[in-house]
Every structure is written in structure tokens, then in C-alpha cells.
Amino acid sequence: MLNAVTAKSSLEDILEELEQAEGLGALQTASERLRDHFDVDHIVYHWVDSAGDQYGCGTYSDEWRDHYLKQNYLRVDPVIIGCFQRFHPVDWKRLDWSSKQARAFQQEAIEYGVGNQGFSVPIRGPNGQFALFTISHNCDDDTWATFTETHRRDLILIAHYFNEKALEFEPGRIPENHQPLSPREIDAMTLLAMGYSRAQVAQTLSISEHTLRVYIESARFKLGAMNTTHAVARAMSRGLIVV
Amino acid sequence: MLRYVYADQLKNHPKLAASMFRDRADQFKTRLGWDVSVDAEGFERDQYDDLNPLYVIWENVDGSHGGSMRFLPTTGRTMVNEHFGSLMSGPITSPTIWECTRFCLNRNAESRVAAALMLGGGEIMQNFGVHHFVGVFDARMVRIYRMIGSSPDILGFDGEGRDKISVGLWHFAPEAQAKVASRAGLSLELSRLWFARSFGDTGAPAYELARTA
């Protein structure tokens, strides 16, 4: 899993494509490309609204998806139950699998190829919207711990970018522009685009490097970017900064 | 001990929850004179308590509240962004930046409780991929944070003297963690154990083991 040799799309490319795409099919395509990028068994995005309606996409087999819906596993699935109303990322090992129902569900999930490991990022959207971004795989505990530790931050960001995209298609949603950058965030992005080092940017703005990191992190998220270079590129292409 | 409790789990800890909201009234209304509302039960609660935040709470031996703080991710509604945005060039928004508010200590709390809470904050950062906390605090806390070895960077402030309210930010620093742990009189192992317990690590066979059952 961690030493695949095939050439893979970068996260930036995958997100760029997702950002540009129109229609929910883009989320499906992005799930598949992310699965290949991380070289794991599955990537799944699952939206549940307050009325209990759900939308999902990802790489689980059609058989498992149909079975899950037919059995109404939303009411049994410990991942849903354990992540609903939460906002911290969850390793499936930490969830409560003790009930008979949960164990039977788990047995089936593994038979359907979900994998023996999972990591889910809960997302709280506007107006009680809730979604889960999940990555699952078949491997031993140590390998999984290393994987999630290494990629946790990226997975958290991607989870939220998926949800942003999904929200665009919500019926009745008023299209809104991207969240604007604050004046400090624009300053930071502009100076970085001019080639200043972080230390120079911090000094120029008379703030500590730690404070600068917060502004960069916030700008990066608002721009839907994976890293600082990506964020600067997006800020420029959207005309948010002028160098 | 430290407990990590979402608001919807507070019902499982009625004594702890009631004493936390009363201690908040005592600290923010009685002692600091902040413009906060206290209900008929003597609880200080605000609109952010209704958003199912995560509390880190020091529980005394008798099950009552020793100190606490409240966390929400800055991707949703937060006090810092809705009320203090102008102090820090906000809004600040990222799933890896959480806000920390209502840092409260029981008036008889031992000095190590504040340090224990900060240690809990460090567990959250390390385990949940959180890079920074953005917090709101009163002037009095600046000295306490310095004493326990966890001083925030100040992003901005409002008011003067005793009425001064600051917005600051914390990041995780391994060297600070050791100092905070020693101020708290706690080992990192115990801290990790409490964290794991709150988030479901019961030591029982979990998902992976049952595969072979």
C-alpha cells in the first residue's frame, strides 16, 4: 500500500478536476482516482440529511451498496452511529461493535470486500447536514496506523472538499461564491506569491510564524487547496491576489 | 481525571455537567463580570453549547467539575468568528483549526487543573489532526497560561486592564507538552489512557479482530 510504484495522479490534479467538474459524477470519478492515488481498497463519500435521506458515491461494490440500502443498514452501521454529531476523525477500531447486530453487519461488510480497516471523517455541513468521508482497506493494524497517521491531514481536507462539492448540488441551494479571504490572508498569499519565505512574510506583517501558519492554513482551506503552493496558484488564478 | 465529552453525552454525567455550568456562571458572571446569561438553575450557557461542542473536563474525585474548556471546529459557527472576527482579521476557517472557548476553573481548583486541561488540548491536536486552537480569554488567563508553559500567540485584543479580552492561538509543541505534563503532575501515559477511554478504546476486541471470529 505504501510503496506502490505506478505513476499516480497528484492530489492537486484530482482536486483540480473535481473543482472544475459539473455534476455529481465528478465525486464518483474523484473517489476512484483517490483510491488509486492512496492505493487503498475503498474511498466512499456518504451524505445523510436530517430526514434520513442519503446519497453516496465511491468505490464499494454495487452489490454491497444495494444490500446496505435494502437492509436499511443506516440504522445499524456503527460508523454512522458513532460519527453522527461528531467532528473528530474516527478509526473504526474505536467504534462500538459489541452488539449482535453490529457484529453481523461487520461480518457481512468484510465478506462484501469493504476491508478490515477503516477511517472516517465526519463533516457537519450547514443546517444539520451531515456527511462521512471514509477510506477502508485490508491490512494489519500497524500498517493501517502508519497510513492514517501519515495521511490524516490530507484526508480531513479532502473530506471537506468533497462535501463542499456535494453541497453545490443540493436542491434549492443558493449558489454562493467561495468564502472570501480575509485581509491578512490576502497579505500572506500575496507575499508568498512574490517569493518571500515564511520568515520574511511573518516579519513583513509583524506577526509570529505560528500566527502566519494559521492564516495560511485558513486561506488554503478557503481556496480548496492541499498545500501552500497549490493555494497560491489558486488565489492567483481566481484573481484574489495581484503580484 | 480528564474526560472528553460531547454535549450530547453530558446527560451521562449529570453531576459533572451541572457543576461545570455552575462554575462557568461563577467564573464568567460573578468573578469576571462578563455579560453572560445565567439561567434559573444557575447555569451559564450560550448558543454555542447548543451546537454539540466537545468539552474537555477535569473531573474531581467526588465527580464534580474542576475545570473545563469547549471546542468547536472553525468550519462551522464559532464564537471567535462571529464575535471576535475584527480582532484577528477573520474569519479563520479550517477543519485543522478548532476554537477553544469558556476555559473555566472551579474557584477552589488546584493549580494543576489548568495544566491538565492544556494537556488534554494537546491530545486532541495529536490525535485528531488539529494544528491550531484559536481561543478567547480574559486578561487573568495570560498569566495562568504562562505559568503552565502554554502561552498563546496573541492575535488581537479588546478592552483594557481587567476587562481586556484577547484572541490567541496555540499550536502543538512537544517540548511544551513535557513541561505542561509536569505542571499537571501527570504522566503522558495516563493522559493518553484517559483520552483513549473517552474515545472508545475499551481494550475489548474491536472491528479487526472480529474478522476471524
Cα–Cα distance between A24 and A2 in angstroms, integer? 30
Contact B94 A218 (CB under 8 A): yes
Whether residue B59 is predicted with pLDDT greater than 50 in this model: the reply is: yes
Whether A229 contacts chain B with CB within 8 A: no
Residues in chain B: 213
Q: How far is B208 from chain A (nearest CA, A)?
A: 5
Q: What are phi and psi of B147, to 5 degrees?
A: -60, -40
Cα–Cα distance between B171 and A35 in angstroms, integer? 31
Chain A CA closest to residue B199? A94
Chain A CA closest to residue B86? A182
Three-state SS across chain B? CEEEEEHHHHHHCHHHHHHHHHHHHHHHHHHCCCCCCECCCCCECCHHHHHCCEEEEEECCCCCEEEEEEEEECCCCCHHHHHCHHHCCCCCCCCCEEEEEEEEECCCCCCHHHHHHHHHHHHHHHHHCCCEEEEEEEHHHHHHHHHCCCCCEEEEEECCHHHCEEEEEEECCHHHHHHHHHHHCCCHHHHHHHHHHHCCCCCCCCHHHHCCC
Strand order in the sheet with A117-124: A54-58, A42-48, A130-137, A117-124, A90-91
- B-chain CB neighbours of A184 within 8 Å are 89
Chain B CA closest to residue A92? B207
Whether A110 contacts chain B with CB within 8 A: yes
- B-chain CB neighbours of A215 within 8 Å are 89, 92
- A-chain CB neighbours of B76 within 8 Å are 87, 124
Contact B90 A182 (CB under 8 A): yes
Residue ranges covered by each domain of chain B: 2-200
Over residues A164-204, the pLDDT tens digits come to: 998 887 766 665 557 889 999 999 999 999 999 999 999 99
Contact A184 B89 (CB under 8 A): yes
Residue in B52, B54, B93 nearest the CB of A221: B93
pLDDT (mean) for A45-68: 88
Higher pLDDT, B53 or B151: B53
Contact B76 A88 (CB under 8 A): no
Whether residue A4 is predicted with pLDDT greater than 70 in this model: the reply is: no
| Residues pairing with A164 in the sheet | none
Contact B8 A85 (CB under 8 A): yes
Q: How far is B195 from chain A (nearest CA, A)?
A: 12
| Residues pairing with B104 in the sheet | B68
Nearest 10 degrees: Cα torsion A101, A103, A108, A114? 120
**Considering the domain B2-200 in this protein, what is its CATH number?**
3.40.630.30
Ordered structural domains, chain A, with CATH: 11-167 (3.30.450.80), 183-237 (1.10.10.10)
Whether A97 contacts chain B with CB within 8 A: yes
Q: What is the pLDDT of residue A107?
A: 94
Cα–Cα distance between B48 and B167 in angstroms, integer? 17
Contact B74 A94 (CB under 8 A): no
Q: Are B5 and B198 in contact (CB under 8 A)?
A: yes
Taking the model in full, what pTM does it have?
Answer: 0.93
Interface of B with A (CB under 8 A): 6, 8, 52, 54, 72-76, 89-97, 124, 127-129, 131-132, 134, 153, 155, 169, 171, 199-201, 204, 206-208, 210-211, 213
ipTM, two decimals? 0.91
Average pLDDT taken over every residue of chain A: 90
Q: What is the pLDDT of residue A66?
A: 94
Q: Are A43 and A59 in contact (CB under 8 A)?
A: yes
Over residues A125-168, the pLDDT tens digits come to: 887 889 999 999 999 999 999 999 999 999 999 999 999 998 88
